[in-house]
Amino acid sequence: MDKVKALNIVKEQLTEKRYIHTVGVLHTAVKLAKIYDADEHRVQLAAIFHDYAKFRPIAEMRKIVQDEQMDDRLLTYGNELLHAPVGAYLVKKEVGIDDEEVLNGIRYHTTGRLNMTILEKIVFISDYIEPNRQFPGVEEVRDIALQDLNKALIISISNTIQFLMKKRQPVFPDTLAVYNSLIMKEDI
Ligand code: DGI
Ligand code: FE
Ligand code: FE
């Protein structure tokens, strides 16, 4: 599917603000795909559709998680997590994209997972650093993402975990697992 068609499809699912965010993620992801030699077309599609399910009713998303026998933990760690795996499911079902690498980029863009592919890392980081994101520390990750993808992942996940802890929200175990595995591998 080409970029223009994909953008037109996702636009209908999103608010204007979220669409602008999506275009920011797309541009950032393409830049990172060139640097890290990832499949640009797949990265584009995953970036464009990453928040496809963001505005689906919570009840609908919870039902899909149950009916499709997805990971049960998605139902207990916060509703913010649902749009990623449900997005992957709906993009396959409604848009007809069945490339598992693209779908995994969508599926894991919020929590991350152990042994993420380059595409998954690129979508995850681009979601965090795209130009419309403004929060303390984002500039640092923007710079580091151009040099070292894993280091950028460590910092962004660490920031997210701290953000969740400050709000006394649960941290999804796979998110902690990515953090642990990268921090033990990296010399940071
Ligand atoms: O959809 P976006 O806003 O573009 O970004 P996102 O898909 O990364 O979602 C961000 C939200 O997800 C934010 O409110 C924090 C939350 N989140 C991210 N990782 C975790 C998490 N929430 C829980 N409970 N646990 C996590 O590990
Ligand atoms: Fe998201
Ligand atoms: Fe997003």
Domain residue limits, the chain: 3-133
As separate numbers, helices (DSSP H) first and strands (DSSP E) second, the chain gives 10, 0
**Could you tell me which residues come within 8 angstroms of residue 172 by beta carbon, excluding any fewer than 6 positions away?**
73, 77, 78, 81, 111
Structure tokens at 172: 């999804």
- Residue 177 to residue 126: CA distance in whole angstroms: 20
Dist. CA 57 → ligand 1 center (Å): 16
- Residue 46 to residue 8: CA distance in whole angstroms: 14
Q: Which amino acid is at 179?
A: Y
pLDDT score of 187: 55
Q: Is 121 a pocket residue for ligand 1 (Cβ < 6 Å)?
A: no
Name the residue among 5, 175, 150 with its Cα closest to residue 84.
175
Dist. CA 127 → ligand 3 center (Å): 5
pLDDT score of 136: 87
- Residue 156 to residue 3: CA distance in whole angstroms: 27
Q: Is 20 a pocket residue for ligand 1 (Cβ < 6 Å)?
A: no
- Residue 92 to residue 9: CA distance in whole angstroms: 13
pLDDT score of 82: 98
The residue written with tokens 């599926």 in the block is: 107
Q: Which fold has domain 3-133?
A: Hypothetical protein af1432 (1.10.3210)
Q: What stretches in the chain show pLDDT beneath 70? A: 187-188
- Report whether 117 contacts 107 (CB < 8 A): no
Stated pTM of the model: 0.95
Structure tokens at 60: 């609908």
